A and B are shown apart, each in its own frame.
Chain A
């Protein structure tokens, strides 16, 4: 659906973005572990910040990949990133405290195989393909892991699949005195958890659109890196608002509201800065003014 793909030469080198994005995303996810250490859920918002960092880095990767002209538009890159990222992330969460690291490794391998497939079997022959799909798979997995840990306060599989406990009352038979006794056990409910209730699907698509939107929305001859990256931050924090609303279910009022307030403030700041940057880059900023004729061939 795009007319022309042109990417600006970035002021910030891609490798620097990659390093910052990866480190902040992994460290941020680990900071949610403070929930376990302190016993309160208020540190969950670090997961959201981790996810935003991953999106910020990934939007630059998409720019590099899509400037080659894939023939299918920018959004498909976001879809394949999160399709593979979702697989790596869900399996990665099984590894307890090592989950974020394992998720990165799994996603990297998965992305490399898909990149190899696209490049050498489907004959795309794009030099940055394997590296880009590797990065995108890691971005997808880390974004989902970050948002999932923000919503539930944990990045471990058991916490993501168990929503609440219900009490099961079983008749243990009549005791000797004739009185009925009951065996009460706590049974985990899977259906109302983040994964069991499929709320992860929302995170899946929230991330996929936030990842592809910045470059898709800003492409054109006057694309500039700082504006695109600011939009990436804005989209990331916007997604974080939605995740904060969902986190009300899992974290309760206090932690949920902290998530919501932090994401709202951060989003508002980034969105406002993005508008200012658009104003800076635009040819003119007009309100209720007629079409300026520049003389097309009519």
Chain B
């Protein structure tokens, strides 16, 4: 269990916030997850993710290269599962196709870049952002910058070991976990509306 009292909450945390790992937040072991810096059972995190997404005004997924390209067996199926989850929670997608610094040419309406993710979040007024299929180092850098400069609530659905700098992180995310999350979201949505606001604008995201 993590012993840190450091809270990984939505920002803006400040000029140059620390990486959460340097504040004592530890990644979860298999079968566990992180919610705002605390280690919790995975099922608790599933529920929290579904609630956050369904209550969001403008939930947006940021799919990265590892799910955008069918670069190995099983990736296309995983991308399908991500799409089903997005549909279940009514989220849009703004892709992270690669990791090149694209200053100042980034078009925040059509892509997000890990080196200045805050621009995309500000431009689209995103209140809940989900990282999936992004290589871990780039996800960590982007999540920390988002926490530093925006009030966006971030969720990481990581195929590897997770991310301390997301407000909620699941690790070892595979199709089975994506489907479980989708089922929970559908059940929660069927139980009644959680969304309190409306999307500020449709944008041009794909």
Indicate, yes or no, whether A interacts with B. no
Chain B residues near A (Cβ < 8 Å):
none
Interface residues of A (CB under 8 A from B): none
